[in-house]
Amino acid sequence: MVFEIRLMGGPAVTDQGALHETMLPFLNSIGYMPAGYDPRTGVSTLTDSVPYRLFADCFLGHLDRVWSVGELARELGTSIPTVYRHLDKLSALDILGQGSLQKDESRKGYFIRYHDLSQAWRFTEVNIELSLAAYRRAVDAIQRGVSSPRKPSGQDQPRTAGAEGEFSLRVVNRPFDIGQKWESLAVDFLGVIEYLPESGPAGRKRSRTGVPFRLLVDCLLRRPEQGWTIDELSTELATTKPTVYRNLHKLGRLGILEKSVPDLPGDGEGAPGEGAAGERPTRSPARRRYRIRRGNLSKAWNATEWYAGAVVKNYRRTVDEIASFGRRSEGKP
């Protein structure tokens, strides 16, 4: 099972009065029960849904018990394939242990590692660290491949107004072939982090000629100095403004995008205009410009790693809070 988790920006969910008030936002953020999840089983609330009850009632509510798939299906009133589907999601977080059942040692059962969520979450944190290290190697290789031999002019640098969007990163522990052509590496990497759709060898060529890839590589990475307006990007890429906005939003959620409102002479916008007689000259609104942070993907990825580190710390605080609920339900200190 390949490790997978989503890192979502936001404060740690702690000090809530009820378990579900802590649990549901957390399960949403890590991707186990993503926002907007529809259980499609006729239940009235998400706390009655199969994935929530599997995690909260079965595993967390009975930490010392080892469950067979059949026992879980009967307890939850659902099918064995449904149980396996949600077990796969929890297994991808690397928090489940597997062991023999007391009644039948030949059969496999499932439980929270160490029968303690706080302890089990250490495996998740190690997987995140290893995954982000692989991401860093891929990012640096892509930047080396795309870099122009000339140095940026340093002129017309936009005044940074902050990162664009709320941070969100899919983290998957998988190796990248750093030795392949950087364009193929970029398609693989950008597919894993969900900027591009994941595709096999047949889809790589199409991905490299598509708008999302060209926006990032040809515009933002190869010509980063002064930043781009939406109009300039839509013209350069021969696409619509909504398409440009949609892809910029994906990059913004990674924390690597800067937005700015430059005050540059000759920009065509923001230049002083002549008002009516007796009125002060007016200035038309300057268009927002976008670029990769510091004009360099490797340097921009430092911000991604910082955001990811902050999320991991918040997840740890929330996990410890949830684990305390579980221990109390078991009558443990």
- The region of weakest confidence among 48-62, 187-201, 235-249, 304-318 is 187-201
Per-residue confidence (pLDDT) for residue 184, from 0 to 100: 92
Measured CA to CA, the distance from residue 195 to residue 32 in angstroms comes to 20
User: Which residue did the predictor score with more confidence, 154 or 179?
Assistant: 179
Average pLDDT, the chain: 84
Q: Buried b / exposed e across 19-58, counting CB within 10 Å, b at 16+?
A: bbebbbbbbbbbbbbeeebeeeeeeeebeebbbbbbbbeb
Per-residue confidence (pLDDT) for residue 93, from 0 to 100: 97
User: Which residue did the predictor score with more confidence, 165 or 137?
Assistant: 137
- Pull the structure tokens for residue 234: 């839509």
Whether the Cβ atoms of residue 160 and residue 258 lie closer than 8 Å to each other: yes
**Coil vs helix vs strand at 160:** strand
**Coil vs helix vs strand at 168:** strand
Q: Give every CB contact of residue 106 below 8 A, 6+ residues apart in sequence.
A: 100
Measured CA to CA, the distance from residue 38 to residue 49 in angstroms comes to 9
Res. 48: pLDDT tops 50: yes
Per-residue confidence (pLDDT) for residue 164, from 0 to 100: 55
Per-residue confidence (pLDDT) for residue 284, from 0 to 100: 42
Domains of the chain: 4-123+313-329 (1.10.10.10), 124-311 (no CATH)
User: Which residue did the predictor score with more confidence, 133 or 263?
Assistant: 133
**Coil vs helix vs strand at 316:** helix
**Mean pLDDT over residues 318-323, rounded?**
93
Per-residue confidence (pLDDT) for residue 264, from 0 to 100: 47
The highest-confidence range among 33-47, 95-109, 128-142, by mean pLDDT, is 128-142
Give the start-end residues of each E strand in the chain. 4-8, 96-100, 108-112, 160-163, 168-172, 257-260, 272-273, 282-283, 289-292
Phi and psi angles of residue 31, each rounded to the nearest 5 degrees, phi first: 95, 0
Res. 145: pLDDT tops 70: yes
DSSP state of 221: I
pLDDT band at 325 (very low <50, low <70, confident <90, very high): confident
Measured CA to CA, the distance from residue 150 to residue 137 in angstroms comes to 23
Res. 60: pLDDT tops 50: yes
Alpha helices in 69-116 (DSSP H): 69-76, 80-92
Measured CA to CA, the distance from residue 244 to residue 237 in angstroms comes to 9
Q: Give every CB contact of residue 39 below 8 A, 6+ residues apart in sequence.
A: 46, 48, 49, 50, 51
Per-residue confidence (pLDDT) for residue 88, from 0 to 100: 96
Res. 103: pLDDT tops 90: no
Per-residue confidence (pLDDT) for residue 266, from 0 to 100: 45
Segment 192-245, tens digit of pLDDT: 999 998 766 666 778 889 999 999 999 999 998 778 999 999 999 999 999 999
Segment 259-281, tens digit of pLDDT: 876 554 444 443 334 444 445 54
Per-residue confidence (pLDDT) for residue 239, from 0 to 100: 97
